[in-house]
Amino acid sequence: MLRQCLRWIRAQIVKKAEHFLLRVLSTGPVPQHVAFVMDGNRRYARRNQQAIVQGHTDGFAALRKLLETCLRLHIRCVSVYAFAIDNFKRSPEEVEHLMNLAHEKLLEMAQHGQILEEYGVRLNVLGKTALLPDYVQESIREAESLTRKNNKAILNICMPYASQDEITTAVQSAVRKSLESDSEDCELTEDDISAQLMTTLAGSPPLEILVRTSGVKRLSDYLLWQCSENTQIHFCNKYWPEFGLFDFIPILLDYQRKIWRQRLS
């Protein structure tokens, strides 16, 4: 009984500390678009002697918690790399579990998602969705439809996604649009291609911070075009299911320091 009481007291102290930190951070400049490469679910599961599927389930729980943190900070857009096109090469059992998890959680977030409703979040699934099983495509359509009228914030779930595929599709769309315009000037610009990117079409602002967990220092074909000279890229050693507010704070403070320096220069 005493241990339970002490755990409850500790949880309340941590919760109050988190609320205080979020209030302090939100008084400074806040990025409008943050992206995460949610890496390390499988290694997290192996280290904890769990099934791989449990690592992915814990990874979704981490996403839900961090999304709420971002929304409370008034970060307008959050993009997450949930499933790469290359991930279809994994074992059939793991792919099947990931598809079932996506189906279940998409509907759960849209139908019973207090977070999405409370913060007015529109959910978008970006990627080559035609590669997904029919039942997952149906859950995507339902989730996007249920949140379509939300206009305060955006959650982009990228699956199955590859940046090279997105850029190729954007160039093809820009070429078609140019040909359909009957304009004598058929020269494509960066703006023409940017306007056709999945993130742009979903209403996302420019990407300001990209975070990859698990200690791996590469982008793995994620939002390559969107990573401009102003995008801050951070690599964190924590596995994704372990990543939380106290790992995110140093990243936000670094962003705020750089913004303040720019404004004062």
User: Among this protein's residues, is 100 annotated catalytic?
Assistant: no
Tokens of 81: 């790399």
Range scoring the smallest mean pLDDT among 24-28, 84-88, 241-245: 24-28
- Strand 77-81 relative to strand 209-212: parallel, antiparallel, unpaired? unpaired
201 pLDDT above the threshold of 90:
yes
Domain assignment present for residue 15? The answer is no
Region 49-59: mean pLDDT is: 94
Region 230-244: mean pLDDT is: 96
Catalytic residue among 39, 58, 124, 156: 39
Domain assignment present for residue 16? The answer is no
Confidence band of 262 (pLDDT split at 50, 70, 90) = confident
- Give the pLDDT confidence score for residue 2 in this predicted structure: 60
Range scoring the smallest mean pLDDT among 19-33, 141-155, 188-202, 228-242: 19-33
Region 37-59: mean pLDDT is: 95
- What distance in Å separates the CA atoms of residue 132 and residue 152, rounded to the nearest whole number? 28
- Give the pLDDT confidence score for residue 259 in this predicted structure: 92
Give one DSSP letter per residue of the chain, joined into a string.
-HHHHHHHHHHHHHHHHHHHHHHHHHTS---SEEEEE---HHHHHHHTT--HHHHHHHHHHHHHHHHHHHHHTT--EEEEE--BGGGGGS-HHHHHHHHHHHHHHHHHHHHS-HHHHHHTEEEEEES-GGGS-HHHHHHHHHHHHHTTT--SEEEEEE-SB-HHHHHHHHHHHHHHHHHHTT-S-----HHHHHTTSHHHHTTPPPP-EEEE-TT-----SSSTTT--TT-EEEE-SS-GGG--HHHHHHHHHHHHHHHHHHHH-
Q: Is the dihedral of CA 186, 191, 193, 197 positive or negative?
A: negative
- Write the CATH number for 232: 3.40.1180.10
More confident residue, 7 or 207: 207
Contacts of 152 (CB under 8 A, 6+ apart): 76, 119, 120, 121
More confident residue, 238 or 5: 238
35 pLDDT above the threshold of 70:
yes
Confidence band of 193 (pLDDT split at 50, 70, 90) = very high
Percent of the chain at pLDDT > 70 equals 92
- Give the pLDDT confidence score for residue 179 in this predicted structure: 83
Q: What are phi and psi of 232, to 5 degrees?
A: -90, 130
- What distance in Å separates the CA atoms of residue 167 and residue 128, rounded to the nearest whole number? 12
Catalytic residue among 41, 86, 87, 247: 87
- What distance in Å separates the CA atoms of residue 112 and residue 108, rounded to the nearest whole number? 5
- What distance in Å separates the CA atoms of residue 106 and residue 188, rounded to the nearest whole number? 37
Domain assignment present for residue 25? The answer is no
Query: How many domains is the chain built from?
Result: 1
Mean pLDDT of the chain: 91
User: Among this protein's residues, is 39 annotated catalytic?
Assistant: yes
Place of tokens 């390559």: 224
Domain assignment present for residue 118? The answer is yes
Domain assignment present for residue 226? The answer is yes
Q: Which domain holds residue 224?
A: 30-161+208-264
Domain assignment present for residue 189? The answer is no
Domain assignment present for residue 234? The answer is yes
Domain assignment present for residue 18? The answer is no
For residue range 93-126, list pLDDT tens digits in order: 999 999 999 999 998 887 766 788 889 999 999 9
Residues 69 and 245: beta-carbon distance below 8 Å: yes
For residue range 131-180, list pLDDT tens digits in order: 999 999 999 999 999 999 999 999 999 999 999 999 999 999 999 988 88
**Buried/exposed code over 155-172 (b: 16+ C-beta within 10 A; e: otherwise):** bbbbbbbbbebbbeebee
Cβ burial of 180 (10 Å; 0-12, 13-18, 19+) is: exposed
